Every structure is written in C-alpha cells, then in structure tokens.
A and B are shown apart, each in its own frame.
Chain A
Amino acid sequence: MFIHNFKYSLKTLFRNKMLIFWTFAFPIILGTLFNLAFSNIADTEKFDIIDIAIVNNDDLENNEAYKTVFKQLSDESSEDRMFNTKYVSEDEAKKLLENDDIVGYMKLEGETPKVTFVKSGTNQTIFKYVVEEIAQRSNMLSNIVEHEMKESVMPENINTEEILHKANELAQNNEIKLKNISNKNLDYMMIEFYTLIAMACLYGGILGMVAINQNLANMTNQGKRISISPMNKAKLLISSLLAGYVAQLVGLALLFVYTVFVLKVDYGNNVGLIILLSMVGSFTGLSMGVAVASLVKASDNAKSGILIGITMLGCFLAGMMGVSMKYVIDKNVPIINKLNPANMITDGFYSLYYYDTLDRYYFNVASLLIFAFILIAISFFSLRRQKYDSI
C-alpha cells in the first residue's frame, strides 16, 4: 500500500501542469532572466579607461609636468593606462563634453589647472584626483628642495641642480607595498542565484501541500474515500509526502543542472555540502507545505497563495529583488533573517562560496532542520484524530 500510494501520488503531482510550472519552470525562467540582466554588472563596475580632453593652449606647452604625466597615463601600450586624452581647443572641449564624448576637460591658466565636468561622479573624481596629484607633487618637490637647502652644512656651496635631482629621485623611488588578503570569491550577484535555489526549495512545499490535500477529507473526494478506509493514516501521509519530496528533488536537480552548466553559477567546490544543503532546504519547504496544508482551513488556491506569498517575502528579505536587502537585514535586524528559511538557504550557499570555515554553513543547516521539525511536529498534532461533523 505504501508503494501503491507513493506511485500514484507521484503520478498525480507530475500531471498537474500548474504545479509543475511553478515548481520546475518558473525558477528556471527567473534564473534565465537574472542571467540576462545581471551578467554584465561585474564587468561594468571594473575600472574603465576614462575619456578626457585637455585644452592645448600655450600654458600647457610650457608645463612639462602636466604634459608628461598625461602622456604617460594615456599611453596605449602601458598597462597602467587610465585616460584616453584628446588635445583640443577650449571650444572643442566644450562641445565634446556636451556630446558626452568625454567626462571632463582640464585647462591650465598659468600654473593653475581647472577642470570642468557636466556632473559629479567617480570617473570625474579620479580625473580631478590625478590633476591634483600633479599640483601636489610639485609642491612636495619644492618643499623638499627648501628643506634640503636648510639642512645643508655649507649653504654657500649649494648645488641646486643636484638637490632637485635628489628630490626627484626621492619622489620616484617609493613603491607603496600593499598586500591584498581579500577572498577571491567576491561576486555578490551569486546571491541572486542562491535566492533562486531557496525559492525553488520553498516552492517545492506546494508539492507537499497538494500531496497532503489528497489525503484530507475536507479537501478532495479522494480524501474522503481514504479517510473512511481502514488504512494506516501515518503510512499514507508519509508515502504521499515522500512522493512530494521526490518530485521536489527532481525539480531542484534540473535547476542545479541548468544553473551550473548553462548559467555558470558558482556554488563553491564542496559538492557534498551543496547537495546536503539543498536537500535540507527542500525538506524545510516540504514542512512548510505540510504545515500550511494541515493548519490552514482554506481552499487549495488560497493555500498555495499563502505558500507563494511567504516564499516571495522570504526571498525578498534574503536579497532576491536586490542583494543589498539581505545585507541591510542581516546587519540591522539579524533576528528576521535568522528565522527566515529562504535566508537560511541563501546564507548557507553564501558561506560555502565566500567563507573558508564551515561554522556558518552548519549553523544554517541546523537552523533549517530545527525550523522544519517544529513545523512538522505542529502539523502532526493537528492532523491526528481529525473528525468532521459535516463536510
């Protein structure tokens, strides 16, 4: 009987087109959309070569410092190239700026540079920064020369040339040593795909819900028949749930295959732990489905509405509609996300991807299991000894 019920539960689940759309196809469609929209973000945030212009007046001709620095920084063969510089007249520069061909232009008036932009921004700030640095550098050189002159033992023997040369050398030989110790896995767009898995896990709850509904006398005619049969209810329920869980895992496996091989999502390297987390996540989804099916007395549609609503809210808080939402909640009201199953799943994947240690991962897995067992325990007590005066 266990196997019989299992087989037919599985068949009815797979034949329910709406169900299969929401649990199987929808996450895949959403994942494709994420991929189309987000695939370029990481690239556009990288440092680009900035288009600028410099007004080529006489003051520029006479100023070696500005000429050489911008020549170096615009050198196409150099790895440190920052700018694509055009040397033009002031009128042309204005026109280029208006047409959005450059972010800004610099004009020298005597020794003093002035930069003009359409609006503030990071590229503008960097351009201004470089111009500033040239001004600061010449100030620094003259300060050093002055200092060296003061320090000289025999002021009458000063060789200005030599001091200037020395100062220049000082300014050149100072490689600043910085050691980058950050983790290489810094692609925060991955969170979007993790919330997607979380969504698929929790949507899977609908499968569990439908499987339970088939056994409830107040939901289906089939349920009425089952209720008056002399079968062991626990056996039936468990075999129906198992069918729901299996269907859920099939959907999840499809989603994983699709995201890994087509969308190239990085889940970290620990395959065993990834599978464990998704199975535990699906189980939590199942427990939510069971809880809604047994605790809420409403129509089938209303029940799935509630499940979809809870799942979407959870995913929203876990960062599906904007990754920063997860961070804001984690940082300011951590308790919400500690109780949010969608976030537990998302955070579990995140910790596998980003952290080397597994404490946080196991904390999430444990939270999910506790969450699931509480819901199942509650549903179990409500499903026992049900009686209906009238249906």
Chain B
Amino acid sequence: MTVFKTFLKILKKNRGMVIFYTVLLLVFGGINMSANKPTTEFEATKPSVLIVNKDEEVGITKDFIKYIKENSETPEIADNEEARNDALFYSDVSYIVYIPENYHNDFMAGNAPELEIKRTGDYTSEYAEMLVKRYLSVASTYQKSIKSEAELIEKVNETLSKKVDAEITSKLDTTTLSKASFYYNFASYSILACLIYIICLVLSVFNSEKIRKRTVISSMSYKKHNKDLLLSNCVYAVTVWLLYVIASFVLVGDIMFTSHGAVYIINSFVFTMCATALAFLIGRIVSNKNAVNGIVNVVALGSSFLCGVFVPMEFMPQSVKAMAHVLPTYYYVKTNDAVAELEVFNIETLKPLIINMGVMLGFAILFVIIANIVASKKRKIG
C-alpha cells in the first residue's frame, strides 16, 4: 500500500500532463465526430466550387451557375480575392470559375470567351473541372444548331438530367466506423504519452539513490516492493484505458455496442498492456527525471507519426510503412483500420487481427524481459 500511495502522490503532482493528453484526445476525437447521417445509398462526391460572376445572372450564365451549384458545395467565402486565394490554398474550395462580363451574350453569339479558373491540384479539382467542362461542352454543342436561348437551356437541362443508376453493396456505416478508428488511433498517442510520462517519473523517483537505499534496508521484501510497483503501474494503465474507452462510448456512440466496438476495445487493451511494458522499460533505462518530458515527446510523437495515427497509413510512403513494422503502434493502427472495413466476423476474417494483437503481446513480453535484464544490472548500489 505504501508503494501505491506514493504512486498516487506522484500522479497527483503531475496530473496536468495526463489531463493535457486526455483533453487533446477528446478535442481531436470530438472535432472529427460531427454528426453525419449513415449512408447506404450512393452519394456523389461534391467538390467545392466557387463562381465569381461578373456577368448578369440571366440566361445561359444563370443556368450554368445553377448546374454547378447543384453538383457541388459552395463554401461561404468573403467576397475578396485574398480570401478566395486563401481558401484555394487550404483546399476549402478546390475550383474557382471567373465568368467575365457579357458572357451569356458572347456565348449565344457563338464566340464564347475563355474562362479564367483557379484550381488546386488534387482529384476533387479534377472532378470539378469535369463538371464545368461537361456543362459548357453540351451547351456549346447545342448552341451551334439552336439559336434561341430559352430552347437551348431547356435542351441542355434535358440532356444533363440523364442519370445512371448506382448501387452500393456495402451495408456498413463506413463513415462512423472510420471516425471510431480515428478516435482509437489517436488514443494510442494519448495512452503512450500518459503512460510513459507517469510511469517513468514514478520509477525515477523510486530509483533515486536515497530512496532506493531506504527501501533496501526497510522491512519490506524486495519482491513485494517490486510486485506492488508493477501492480500500481498496471492499475494506473487500466484506469487510463478505461477512461478512454468510456469517452469513446460518449463520442462515437452506438457503434461501440456492436462487435466492431468490441474489437476496438480489446485491441486498445492489448495496446495499453504493450505501452505499459514499454513505459516500464524506458523507466528502467532512463533515470534522469528531466529527460522524461523529451523522451515522452520523441517516443509518442515519433511512433504516432510513423504508424499512421495522425496521417492515414494509405497516404504514407512505402519506405516509412516498412520502417514502422518495428513499432507496436503499427500493429495497433493496422487492426483499427482493418476493423472499419470488416463486414463479416468469423475466424477467417478475424485471424489477421488476432495475429496483430499477438505481435503486440510479443512486443510487451520482449520489453518486460529487457526491462528485467536492465534492472538486474542496475541493482547494485555502488
């Protein structure tokens, strides 16, 4: 109990850091959770397109604007060029069309002027350009044979209203699931940071020479002391894990009650065990209290960046992914990402996930073994 009480004392003194990383998780997890209705029907991707119209809004110009607005999102952007440029840079808008003065008259006269555009380089802007070109090419084709503006607009709309049936086979609510994955992926960062920070601090306190000398000559046996220390660490780790799981029920919602949710929870538990072991190892190696903060940042940020916590793994270069294989977080994130796309639960589909968790447990055992070797070498007080 003495050991546990000391543990709590140190924890209380340093609770700021734990609160900080928890708030970080809740804020980032929470931002991402904004309500989205589940989709089982096909929904066309809508690029965000801005139209800057210097023409009167009549005739073909009006209809063009109407068509683009129907098929895209129009973000609210202040009416000045700097705001538009900023929006383009930060991909708030992926395509801007500038309609020059007198465009609809020129168009009907058969000499449609060049349109100025601004675009980002990503594929939503590619698609936005397709939409713009589609309307203009249909309209200008009709324009060559139909001279009445009203009739032309009618025909253009008739043609563009021809749609194709699309069917979606997946019955999964993929948007919510990917959000749950994001939350749990991010949780790995907070778990690592909280555990390494506190456990390292505690170990460095217990390992400081004066306190160790006192412990060694006390009546408490070495075994009991060590067991209590390990147990306190585990209690703390499980508490952090439980806290994050409960938070996930609030933030993610219903999906946590399904078998998908169960896998997230089990996976995060295995990861927590692994992180505890890692924290224990680092605590054994590092005895300088001042270095703890730096190590926490390097280990937690490093493994989060390399293993696709902040940036989805699909966006990462192959070489980084290969490097990430040596980190336990990689297997944790891989499992979370796989769960989000899992349709059926059976031995066959769960097997790779179980292997991932096995790898994490393997890491945990490895860390504990190394920690013990290090500890036994450092046991003598010189």
Which residues of A come within 8 Å of B, CB atoms?
Answer: 18, 21-22, 26, 29-30, 33-34, 36-42, 44-48, 97, 112-126, 128-129, 131-133, 135-136, 139-140, 143-144, 147-148, 151, 167, 170-171, 174, 176-183, 186, 188, 321, 323-324, 326-327, 330-331, 350, 354-355, 360
Contact = CB atoms under 8 A, between A and B. Distances in A.
B349 interface: no
Contact of B315 (A44, A122, A123, A148): A44
A109 to B, nearest CB: 10
Contacts of A26: 294, 297-298
Interface in B142-180: 142, 144-146, 155, 158-160, 162-170, 172, 174
B158 A139 contact: yes
A131 B164 contact: yes
Contacts of B114: 177-179
A40 B90 contact: no
Contacts of A44: 314-315
Nearest to A142: B159
B315 A41 contact: yes
B316 A182 contact: no
Contacts of A143: 142, 155, 158-159
A26 B293 CA distance: 11
Contact of A129 (B88, B127, B132, B290): B127
Given A29-B302, A143-B159, A133 B115 contact: no
A120 B170 CA distance: 10
A181 B169 contact: no
Nearest to A126: B127
A124 B92 contact: no
Contact of A323 (B90, B134, B144, B158): B90
Given A46-B122, A327-B90, A124 B42 contact: yes
A144 B169 contact: no
Nearest to A97: B169
Contacts of A178: 114-117, 129, 132-133
Contact of B168 (A120, A136, A144, A176): A120
A291 B101 CA distance: 55
B118 interface: yes
B190 interface: no
A326 B86 CA distance: 11
Interface stretch (B195-203, B208-216, B236-244, B305-313): B305-313
B132 A18 contact: no
B92 A132 contact: no
Contacts, number: 213
B231 interface: no
Given A178-B129, A180-B117, A182-B88, A38 B311 contact: yes
A114 to B, nearest CB: 5
A271 to B, nearest CB: 22
B145 A37 contact: no
Task: Please report whether the interface of chain A is mostly helix, strand, loop or mixed according to DSSP.
Answer: helix
B238 to A, nearest CB: 28
A171 B141 contact: yes
Contacts of B221: none
A122 B116 contact: no
Given A115-B165, A116-B166, A136-B160, A40 B145 contact: no
Contacts of A180: 117-119
Contact of B163 (A30, A122, A123, A132): A132
A178 B115 CA distance: 5
6 contacts: A29-B298, A37-B320, A46-B123, A115-B167, A119-B174, A178-B132
Nearest to A304: B293
B141 A144 contact: yes
B159 A139 contact: yes
Given A114-B165, A354-B89, A18 B141 contact: no
Contacts of B164: 113-115, 128, 131-132, 135
B226 to A, nearest CB: 29
B294 A36 contact: no
B152 to A, nearest CB: 10
A37 B290 contact: no
Nearest to A146: B155
B314 A120 contact: no
A42 B316 CA distance: 10
B168 A188 contact: no
Contact of B127 (A45, A46, A122): A122
Nearest to A121: B45
Contacts of A22: 294
Contacts of A41: 311, 315
B96 to A, nearest CB: 8
Given A18-B291, A128-B166, A143-B159, A181 B116 contact: yes
B276 interface: no
B305 A327 contact: no
Residue of A37, A42, A323, A326 with most chain B CB atoms under a 10 A cut-off: A37
Nearest to B41: A120
B6 interface: no
Given A46-B123, A176-B133, A120 B167 contact: no
